[in-house]
Amino acid sequence: MKIVLLSTSDISGGAAIAASRMAVALRNQGHEVNQLVVFKKSNDPFVEAIGGESWFSERLRDAQYLFTQKCLVKAGYQLSFNPWKGHDVSKHPLVVSADVIQLHWINHGFMGMRELRALFALKKPVFWHMHDYWAFTGGCHYPGTCRKFETGCGLCPAMIQPGSADATALQLEAKKELYLLNKPTLVGASLWLTNEAKASALAQFAHITHVPNPIDRSFYALRGPEDLRKQHGIGKDVKVILFAAMNTADPRKGFRELVEALTYLNQKTALNIRLLVAGKVALPTQLPYVATFLGTLNAEQMRSAYQAADLFVIPSLEENLPNTILESLASGTPVVGFKAGGIPEMVLEGKSGYLANTGNALELGFAIEKALNNKWSGNFEEILSRFSHNAVGAIYNELMTKNH
């Protein structure tokens, strides 16, 4: 089968990385798989950038994003609406020749309702591998406590000027019309997101199923040449906690709760703890432990960071199926986090880490201490087996064969 995967980027961001890994999993099943993206960052020969975007178009996209976030949406929320100038790929050779279209994260200027309508009008099987809520909401990626997507959006709490016929209500109706045009299969990367989609007002207009994101376990099992403990003078008696800080200003990422948890831990235990921080965001100085900032890391460097750590902590309050958890477990490092989204599907109590009730910083601190005092085998096969390229590729293969 010829399959084309559509994603805003190929390796920039968790959804993009998951899409590229999915391409490999499907290719291993014998399919001809190509990716079509706006921003190509890798040297992958199977990834093609749309190209042709002018300097003006780039600035227009950025201007729209700023306008939406500053003038339409309240602080602390992220909504995506129709781009002023999206990319219609319905006539692209890779799309025209494809037997199956697989959508991933296609926001930030790639496609809106106009472009999706042109794509759905081709009447090809569409599988939308969801990395957040956007496929079945009026525009939000994560709704927080709002459940309006279950009955119909409008009067959106994220909008500066909400109304019964605001942009979210119009976009949800447009998605309904889109799904009536060509009924898609919405694929939740986590069981949690799959069930959220099934509860939505759009559920009756789509097929909904679950297929997890895959991971190349053999890559993370390799011992990299970079020994971060030795490089940074970290002794064997030191307990190393790793966390990734991509955007500490986003409340959904739980940085405030993490600081509270570490403060509690510092007051309660005499463990000699060192923090490793991966990401491009410089953190404030209120951290209660010495922190080493590693900056933005490539896959090999991130693997070394996982392997140098005794524990990976992910304090997110809302998440789908984070790649970082799979990467950490595949590297032999247990995980602590909140019982949020799809995290409990990977972090099993006492088997691959520990969980705290979402938002409870004291519980998170206790879970971190408990994990650091535990003796882990480093073998998380029981959890990882269903996320392998072969396992995920086989599920998708059966799904596509049935619906083609």
Please answer whether residues 19 and 116 qualify as being in contact, where contact means their C-beta atoms are separated by less than 8 angstroms. no
* E strand or H helix that includes residue 195: helix 191-198
- Please state, in angstroms and rounded to a whole number, the distance separating the CA atoms of residues 91 and 97: 10
Answer yes or no: is pLDDT of 52 > 70. no
Which 8-state DSSP code applies to residue 197?
Answer: H
Q: What is the mean pLDDT of the chain?
A: 92
* Gyration radius (Cα) of the chain, Å: 21
Mean pLDDT throughout 368-379? 94
pLDDT tens readout for residues 374-390: 999 889 998 999 999 99
Q: Which of 215, 128, 186 is nearest to 390 (CA)?
A: 215
Q: Indicate whether 250 pLDDT > 80.
A: no
pLDDT at 404 over 70: no
Which phi and psi angles does 82 have, rounded to 5°? -65, 130
For 201-231, the pLDDT digits (tens) are: 999 999 999 999 999 999 998 887 778 899 9
- Is 204 exposed, middle or buried, given 0-12, 13-18 or 19+ CB atoms closer than 10 A? exposed
Order of all β-strands in the sheet with 273-278? 291-295, 273-278, 239-244, 311-314, 335-338, 353-356
pLDDT attached to residue 283: 58
Strands ordered across the beta sheet of 2-9: 47-49, 32-39, 2-9, 100-103, 126-130, 185-188, 207-210
Sign of the C-alpha dihedral computed for residues 218, 350, 319 and 264 taken in this order: negative
pLDDT at 138: 95
- pTM equals 0.92
Contact in structure between 345 and 192 (CB atoms under 8 Å): yes
Residue 340, pLDDT score: 95
The CA distance from 99 to 124, in Å, is 7
Q: With 90 as the cut, is the pLDDT of residue 188 above it?
A: yes
Confidence at residue 84, expressed as pLDDT on a 0 to 100 scale: 78
What is the C-alpha to C-alpha distance for residues 302 and 195, in angstroms, rounded to an integer? 31
pLDDT level of residue 85 (50, 70, 90 thresholds): confident
Which H/E stretch holds residue 266?
Answer: helix 255-268
The CA distance from 219 to 225, in Å, is 13
Least confident of 237-251, 290-304, 355-369: 237-251
3-class secondary structure, 370: helix
Residues 264, 269, 270, 271, Cα dihedral to 10°: -90
Q: Residue 281 — very low, low, confident or very high, per pLDDT cuts 50/70/90?
A: low
- ∠ Cα 240 244 245 (to 5°): 120
Q: Is residue 57 pLDDT above 80, yes or no?
A: no
Tokens of 51: 């190209």
Q: Which of 179-193, 291-305, 342-356 is least confident?
A: 291-305
Look at residue 375 in the predicted model and tell me its pLDDT: 92
Chain segment 150-176, per-residue pLDDT in tens? 999 999 999 999 999 899 999 999 999
Does the pLDDT of residue 343 top 90, yes or no? yes
Q: What is the pLDDT of residue 186?
A: 98
Q: Residues 150, 173: contact at Cβ < 8 Å?
A: no
Q: What confidence tens digit (pLDDT) does each residue in 107-121 have?
A: 988 999 999 999 999
Phi, psi angles (nearest 5°) of residue 78: -130, 120
For residue 345, report the phi and psi dihedrals to the nearest 5 degrees.
Answer: -75, -15
